[in-house]
A and B are shown apart, each in its own frame.
Chain A
Amino acid sequence: MGRLHAEEMILNMGPQHPSTHGVLRLKLTTDGEIVSKIEPVIGYLHRSFEKHAENLEYQMVTPFTGRCDYLAAMGSEHGYAMAVEKMMGIELPERVEYLRVVFAELQRIASHLVAVGTFGLDVGAITPFIYCFRERELILDLFEMASGARLLYNYIWIGGLAHDVPPGFVEKTYEFLDAFDKRVAEYNQILTGNKIFIERAADIGVMTPEVAINYGVTGPSLRASGVNIDIRKTQPYSIYDRFDFEIPLGEGLQGTVGDSWDRYYVRVLEMLESAKIIRQALDQLPVEGDVKSAIPKRIRPPKGEVYFRSENPRGELGYYIVSNGKNVPLRVKMRSPAFSNLSVINEIGQGFMISDVIAILGSLDIVLGEIDR
């Protein structure tokens, strides 16, 4: 009698699947429920952002950047605007800087709310997802108040903002922040501390610091592995050096450092830190100042190239822009954090079950729009 022969089965997860967060396809090689190989197949959402950017004027690229990471459009716009400003050497008014920080951090909270909620959804808890979206709606209301749009804003322009914030915005933001801490406590009560949730997330998809760094993982996923790299602290851009905030790191409270639960919890803590930053920024916000005063009449950066990186909700968002001195960029390359974050899934997901792969994917918090661009 020979050994029992077991064949591996290839399972196509996606592009149409409830929890691949968009149109991602994962080719899973499975042995029973155990996954031995994960092969992400991307490109289903490719919209040729970089080629578009080569044919549009600098300001016209901004709406397209928001469409890459559509859950964090403010962050994408912020990074792009800062990259072009760095090329042109534009000094921004104080009010613009503060408002940009407020919007970027509000966007970080909104994006993390989606990440936290959908992670809950991936492990089967439907209700926290809806609570998270309720709070996200409030943030989107704030964005709508300022920019007029709820998802794709085109609000942060090169050299300033599209409009100044309307009267009542600051008060409404304070109102949101006051209520927000209680809501986070609620999430912790229903999801974070839940024993089933901990069992599903702790010790699952452990990403060691070495693996994370080797794969170029950035953002909360990297910090959950205990690596203290946050561009807001290490290379402060904009005016982040003026604020007092902590960088939450994964501590392995429920399992190993760098597991899915840590990645989830770092996001929860980051939301609270972002709320702290917004509070400080609103406290220090200069009342006077024309947000459009520094917008250049003619955006024509000098010949040369620039690489500018900023801390997006999903990680390090880099823009590499080459200018040949004209009003159209020669090349815009976007270093998207979710792309690198996704590439690590084969490394950390091997040997886990199908359910765990879903949980790991959810904890990495990818946005396909940004991966495929």
Chain B
Amino acid sequence: MIQSLANWILSFDILSGLGYSISWGLSLFVVSALIFVFVAVNAIVLVYIERKVSAFMQVRLGPMRVGKFGMLQTVADALKLLQKEDIIPRMADKVLFIIGPWTILIASVVTFAAIPFSETLLAANMNIGLFYVVSISSIVVLGIVMAGWASNNKWSLYGAMRSAAQIISYEIPVGITLISVVAVVGSLNLQTIVQAQAGVGNLFHWIPIPLPNWFIFHSPFLFLAAFIYLIGATAEINRTPFDIPESESELVAGFMTEYSGLRWALFFLSEYANATLVAFLVAIVFLGGWQSPFADYQGAQVALAIMTLTAGMWTAFVKTKVGRLSIYPLGLSLALTLSAWLFPGFAIWLASPGLFWMIMKAATIIFLLMWFRWTFPRLRVDQLMYVSWKVILPISIMNLMGVAVWMWLTGEIQF
């Protein structure tokens, strides 16, 4: 993207005198700014969505007073945080205290450079993209430890220590599950991984259900790997049930205890940036990235019709059994189906790959993360380690071997 932007800038007669290096630097700046803006806006939107989702799950309404349905609530909150007094505790290590949150934020923002949002929307097409994302995102733990240590607060220190132990433990199973995908593709390039999932094929190679060629449907092992990755990633981004570094009821706020105002907002920003990153990564690696789930526009029409039918049956079933259910899901799918059948252009758009599908998939994953968070209790430190080392790690290693065997069975690789 930087390359093409630089070329585009040079294509103007007036700007052609800039020279390639200046133009390249300018494009780099523009792209970085775009990513940062995306992260900031994303956090504001996600905080609002999270508050609404949690409220609906908890028979509440959530923010309702700022703007229509409280839509501007998080904007107001962000403005409030920016205006707050900048407090640095007297006994804190000032330098680390200040650079801690920035380290976390930078680590979570720069990972977006390698994420392919669509076929062309990609800041840097790296051949080691996956490795880059995984390695850079683990710098976050450095910032957390900095913040926890610098606060000179026992609760912060506990949070930091827990966080370090947790993130390091979960790096391993997460890495191994990603390697099992890399084993299938044979490349670390995220764009290549997405492109390898194009088209429609059978579920698990043999079962004759036409499903997209996504890696989650590649084999039972990768199906499991997707969930293991999701669990490990949840732990890496410190969300419930693995939110022990900032566990509110135990450690007050963990490593964030002493922070306020802008610095605290940075923590929040990076938390949601990380969640988004994980969601994108799941979408790219297991759910086909920016690929459309439909093979062609007829496939889209048929699939939507099946979805509407299922939604109708489910609604009828719940209506008769429980008696209370909103009919919005049914209505939405019905509207989609009708428009897909009536306007083939819409169906064609649905069947074409693009940013829309990427965001839809990521949104689904983020919703799943929110669902986890507002349902589960929190694990204890040692249980967290147990889950990591004794459950997830063995399964992920078995998965890796299983994937190899599967590929040999299906003839994808030969010896």
Chain A residues close to B by CB (< 8 Å): 9, 11-12, 17-19, 33, 120-127, 130-131, 134, 190-191, 194, 196-197, 199-200, 353-356, 358
Complex: chain A residue closest to B373, CB-CB: A126
Contact residues of A: prevailing secondary structure: helix
Q: Are B376 and A194 in contact (CB under 8 A)?
A: yes
B241 at the interface (CB under 8 A from A): yes
Set of chain A residues within 8 Å of B244, measured between Cβ atoms: 355
Q: Are B59 and A120 in contact (CB under 8 A)?
A: no
Set of chain B residues within 8 Å of A130, measured between Cβ atoms: 58-60
B25 at the interface (CB under 8 A from A): no
Set of chain A residues within 8 Å of B59, measured between Cβ atoms: 130-131, 134
Among B154, B250, B374, B379, the residue within 8 A (CB) of A19 is B250
Q: Are B250 and A196 in contact (CB under 8 A)?
A: no
Set of chain A residues within 8 Å of B252, measured between Cβ atoms: 17-18
Q: Are A353 and B379 in contact (CB under 8 A)?
A: no
Complex: chain B residue closest to A204, CB-CB: B380
Q: Are A200 and B60 in contact (CB under 8 A)?
A: no
Set of chain B residues within 8 Å of A11, measured between Cβ atoms: 154
Nearest 6 A/B pairs, CB to CB: A124-B378, A125-B377, A19-B249, A130-B58, A123-B377, A124-B377
Complex: chain B residue closest to A196, CB-CB: B377
User: What are 24 inter-chain pairs, A to B, with CB distance below 8 A?
Assistant: A9-B154, A12-B154, A18-B249, A19-B250, A33-B158, A124-B240, A124-B241, A124-B243, A125-B378, A126-B58, A126-B374, A131-B58, A190-B375, A191-B377, A196-B241, A196-B377, A196-B379, A196-B383, A200-B378, A200-B379, A353-B382, A354-B251, A355-B378, A356-B380
Q: Are A353 and B380 in contact (CB under 8 A)?
A: yes
Q: In chain B between 206 and 265, which residues have their CB closer than 8 angstroms to a CB of chain A?
A: 240-241, 243-244, 247-252
Set of chain A residues within 8 Å of B251, measured between Cβ atoms: 354
Q: Pick the most buried of B154, B249, B374, B375: most chain A CB atoms within 10 A of its CB.
A: B249
Q: Pick the most buried of A11, A196, A358: most chain B CB atoms within 10 A of its CB.
A: A196
Set of chain B residues within 8 Å of A33, measured between Cβ atoms: 158, 381
CA distance A200 to B378 in the complex (A): 8
Q: In chain B between 145 and 169, which residues have their CB closer than 8 angstroms to a CB of chain A?
A: 154, 158
Chain B residues close to A by CB (< 8 Å): 54, 57-60, 154, 158, 240-241, 243-244, 247-252, 374-383
Complex: chain A residue closest to B55, CB-CB: A130
Set of chain A residues within 8 Å of B154, measured between Cβ atoms: 9, 11-12
Set of chain B residues within 8 Å of A356, measured between Cβ atoms: 380
B381 to chain A, nearest CB (A): 6
Q: Are B158 and A354 in contact (CB under 8 A)?
A: yes
Q: Are A123 and B60 in contact (CB under 8 A)?
A: no
Q: A18-B249, A127-B58, A127-B374 are in contact. List 15 more A-B contacts (CB 8 A).
A: A9-B154, A18-B252, A120-B377, A123-B378, A124-B241, A125-B375, A125-B378, A130-B60, A134-B59, A194-B376, A196-B376, A353-B380, A353-B382, A355-B378, A355-B381
Q: Are B249 and A358 in contact (CB under 8 A)?
A: yes
Complex: chain B residue closest to A32, CB-CB: B161
CA distance A33 to B247 in the complex (A): 14
A365 to chain B, nearest CB (A): 15
Set of chain B residues within 8 Å of A123, measured between Cβ atoms: 249, 377-378
CA distance A127 to B248 in the complex (A): 14
CA distance A356 to B380 in the complex (A): 8
Q: Are A124 and B247 in contact (CB under 8 A)?
A: yes
CA distance A200 to B375 in the complex (A): 15
A134 to chain B, nearest CB (A): 6
Among B57, B58, B158, B380, the residue within 8 A (CB) of A200 is B380
Set of chain B residues within 8 Å of A124, measured between Cβ atoms: 240-241, 243, 247, 249, 376-378
Complex: chain A residue closest to B240, CB-CB: A124
Set of chain A residues within 8 Å of B378, measured between Cβ atoms: 123-125, 196, 200, 355
Complex: chain A residue closest to B251, CB-CB: A354
Set of chain B residues within 8 Å of A355, measured between Cβ atoms: 244, 247, 250, 378, 380-381
Complex: chain A residue closest to B378, CB-CB: A124
CA distance A134 to B60 in the complex (A): 10
Set of chain A residues within 8 Å of B240, measured between Cβ atoms: 124
B48 to chain A, nearest CB (A): 18
Q: Are A18 and B248 in contact (CB under 8 A)?
A: yes
CA distance A221 to B335 in the complex (A): 56
Report if A199-B249 is in contact (Cβ < 8 Å); known contacts: A9-B154, A134-B59: no
CA distance A76 to B128 in the complex (A): 68
Q: Are A127 and B375 in contact (CB under 8 A)?
A: yes
CA distance A33 to B154 in the complex (A): 11
Q: Pick the most buried of A121, A125, A353: most chain B CB atoms within 10 A of its CB.
A: A125
